[in-house]
Amino acid sequence: MRALDLVIRGGTVVTGTDAVLTDVGVSDGLVTAIGRDLGPAEETVDATGMLVMPGGVDSHVHLDQPPVGAEMCDGFDTGTASAAAGGTTTVVAFAWQTKGSSLLATVADYHQRANQARVDYAFHMTITDPTPTVLKEELPLLVAEGNRSIKIFLTYDGVRVDDAQAIRILAEARRNGALVCVHAEHHDLLAWLTEQLVAAGLTAPKYHPWAKPMVVEREAVHRIIALAEALDVPIQVFHVSGAESAEEIARAQARGLKVWGETCPQYLVLTAEDLDRPDFEGAKFVFGPPARTKADQEALWRYMRRGVIEVVSSDHSPTRFDATGKKIAGENAPFHKIPNGIPGLAARLPVLFTEGVSKGRIDVQTFVRLVSTNPARLFGLHPRKGTIAVGSDADVVIFDPHKSVTLTNAAMHHGGDFTPYEGYRTQGYPVATYLRGKLVFDGQEVVGPAGQGRYLARDLYPMIEPLGRFTSPFNPVDRILTR
Ligand code: URP
Ligand code: ZN
Ligand code: ZN
């Protein structure tokens, strides 16, 4: 009998449903055996006392994007190093169309940019310029090639789409079989509120959440759900920041709609008060939608436990705390000139585990579903990714549930010069990350080389098939009568 390449022995193997004391055998990059006494192996790793979990799947990661107001400080090399250091082995990153450019050329360009990736990756296509050529000619080719998700912004000058454009994108997503992910904030309302705050001289970072109160988000979430319902298109609402938006999603799900919600660790540990730190430090916490209240945090946990919010991603969107990034408009720039976004790839698993499992809010299987299994399923990567099962890629994080680490920027292994979680004390930390059976993070250093990450093309999968339910007997997307 041929020896296994690797056996991970003695740990508790956790999937989205089970936690079992057993061993995992790996050959040729795949999980090939689960059980006891797996026989000889080239290498054996002792995981006694550890959790052995599927590598994280981070389905919301900005890397190597063209500057929108600031320079992004992670490409696929450093960004995926950070992923590995945080126990994440798959990222879904954005192929970001700039206005006036071809979507085909954009995705081709991102294949080049991603050739330095250290973990596996897929693309969301960020559509900022939905011309007829993009929607009718380019999108179908790209979806058929395996890019099964689209990102749209309902706010941000230069990238946002209006409702008419959103409707056309939703229609093409339905025709071609792609999931639409949405940044939902009411642009005109937040722009007007910003104008009033600035005119009143209220420009410090702490006023950023005042310009983007919950109603700005809740209205846009409600609106995009209504559009998706009318066209019968599955959507995921990105970065749900609090109770009111989550409730919109819960109501949509109660109507039987394919509407999914995502939140991020920053909405679970940071609040609007963090933007009031002195010496412009509040700028480190500028992201949109903004961090909200403790009550919103507890509500998000409840919605996660109910399964309404099914995915916790990082929304890793890194810029430096210098003149290329957060201070691009000056040391004390008004809040609306501070670029939105924070780094978070490496912190995602440790922070969610600490807040969720160690503090008793969720069990460890729910944790695995939120950070790995559910994003893998929702984005068509499961069961290759997102689980530990015979036949799956041997993407594994060995996680010490008791390891306490004080987070620092250096521990994030990214290209940035700050982490919003500086000084945060974890209970639980990855001690080893394996990508397809190869060690990529040894608990201290990223050891997986740049360039070993593989592109993950995604076939059409049942989860994102439409319901076949319209508001009348007319299917307006295909212009046919349904009865
Ligand atoms: O503030 C944020 N979230 N910036 C990143 C881009 C986005 O909105 O997803
Ligand atoms: Zn967004
Ligand atoms: Zn984002």
Across the chain, which distance is largest between two alpha carbons, in Å? 76
Is the residue at 350 inside a domain? Answer: yes
Neighbours of 199 (CB within 10 A): 9
Is the residue at 370 inside a domain? Answer: yes
Average pLDDT, rounded, for the chain: 98
At 320-329, the pLDDT tens digits run 999 999 999 9
At 214-253, the pLDDT tens digits run 999 999 999 999 999 999 999 999 999 999 999 999 999 9
Structure tokens at 66: 């063209």
Angle, to 10 degrees, between the axis of helix 214-231 and the axis of helix 163-176?
Answer: 40
Please state, in angstroms and rounded to a whole number, the distance separating the CA atoms of residues 472 and 2.
Answer: 61
288 lines ligand 1 (CB under 6 A): yes
CATH (domain of 354): 3.20.20.140
Please check the confidence at residue 68 and state whether its pLDDT lies above 80. no
Contact 253, 120 (CB under 8 A): no
Number of the ligand closest to the Cα of 184: 2
Model pLDDT, residue 165:
98
At 71-121, the pLDDT tens digits run 999 999 999 999 999 999 999 999 999 999 999 999 999 999 999 999 999
155 lines ligand 1 (CB under 6 A): no
Model pLDDT, residue 69:
80
Please state, in angstroms and rounded to a whole number, the distance separating the CA atoms of residues 139 and 158.
Answer: 20
Domain, as residue range, for 365? 55-381
pLDDT band at 168 (very low <50, low <70, confident <90, very high): very high
Please give the average per-residue pLDDT across 261-274, as a whole number.
Answer: 98
287 lines ligand 1 (CB under 6 A): yes
Structure tokens at 181: 């992910």
Residue position matching structure tokens 């080049």: 112
Is the C-alpha dihedral spanning 315, 404, 423, 242 positive or negative? positive
b/e map of 161-170 (b: 16 or more CB within 10 Å)?
Answer: beeebbbbbb
CA of 249 to the centre of ligand 2 (A): 17
H or E element that contains 53: strand 51-54
At 350-373, the pLDDT tens digits run 999 999 999 999 999 999 999 999
Is the residue at 436 inside a domain? Answer: no
Please check the confidence at residue 471 and state whether its pLDDT lies above 80. yes
Contact 280, 205 (CB under 8 A): yes
Please check the confidence at residue 35 and state whether its pLDDT lies above 90. yes
CA of 287 to the centre of ligand 1 (A): 6
Q: Please name the residues in contact with 459: beta carbons below 8 A apart, sequence gap of 6 or more.
A: 146, 148, 380
Is the residue at 20 inside a domain? Answer: no
- Please classify residue 30 by burial: count the beta carbons closer than 10 Å to its beta carbon, then call 0-12 exposed, 13-18 middle and 19+ buried: middle
Percent of the chain with pLDDT over 70: 100
Residue of 20, 55, 13, 29 lying closest to 375 (CA atoms):
55
Is the residue at 386 inside a domain? Answer: no
Please check the confidence at residue 469 and state whether its pLDDT lies above 90. yes
- Measured CA to CA in angstroms, residue 231 lies from 126, 199, 297, 476 at distances of 20, 40, 32, 7
Atom 9 (ligand 1): residue with closest C-alpha? 315
Q: Please name the residues in contact with 85: beta carbons below 8 A apart, sequence gap of 6 or more.
A: 346, 411, 412, 413, 430, 433, 441, 446
Percent of the chain with pLDDT over 90: 99
Q: Looking at ligand 1, which atom is closest to the CA of residue 153?
A: 8
Please give the average per-residue pLDDT across 163-182, as a whole number.
Answer: 98
Please give the average per-residue pLDDT across 331-355, as a whole number.
Answer: 97
At 417-429, the pLDDT tens digits run 999 999 999 999 9
Is the residue at 252 inside a domain? Answer: yes
Is the residue at 195 inside a domain? Answer: yes
Atom 2 (ligand 1): residue with closest C-alpha? 341
- Please classify residue 39 by burial: count the beta carbons closer than 10 Å to its beta carbon, then call 0-12 exposed, 13-18 middle and 19+ buried: exposed
Please check the confidence at residue 401 and state whether its pLDDT lies above 80. yes
Q: How many domains does the chain have?
A: 1
pLDDT band at 67 (very low <50, low <70, confident <90, very high): confident
Model pLDDT, residue 483:
87
Please check the confidence at residue 267 and state whether its pLDDT lies above 90. yes
Q: Please name the residues in contact with 247: beta carbons below 8 A apart, sequence gap of 6 or more.
A: none
Please give the average per-residue pLDDT across 456-479, as a whole number.
Answer: 97
Please give the average per-residue pLDDT across 464-481, as a whole number.
Answer: 97
418 lines ligand 1 (CB under 6 A): no
244 lines ligand 1 (CB under 6 A): no
Q: Please name the residues in contact with 106: beta carbons below 8 A apart, sequence gap of 6 or more.
A: 95, 96, 97, 98, 125
Please check the confidence at residue 346 and state whether its pLDDT lies above 90. yes
Mutate to test the pocket of ligand 1, among 239, 292, 313 (most ligand atoms within 8 A of CB): 239
Is the residue at 189 inside a domain? Answer: yes
Please state, in angstroms and rounded to a whole number, the distance separating the CA atoms of residues 264 and 312.
Answer: 5
Q: Please name the residues in contact with 349: beta carbons below 8 A apart, sequence gap of 6 or more.
A: 56, 86, 87, 88, 371, 397, 399, 430
How do the residues of the chain divide into helix, strand and coil, expressed in percent and rounded to 5?
35, 20, 45
Please state, in angstroms and rounded to a whole number, the distance separating the CA atoms of residues 319 and 63.
Answer: 10
Contact 368, 12 (CB under 8 A): no
Contact 84, 433 (CB under 8 A): yes
Half-sphere exposure of 199 (CA within 13 A, CB side): 6
Please state, in angstroms and rounded to a whole number, the distance separating the CA atoms of residues 359 and 291.
Answer: 21
pLDDT band at 31 (very low <50, low <70, confident <90, very high): very high
How does DSSP assign 186-204, residue by residue? -HHHHHHHHHHHHHTT--S
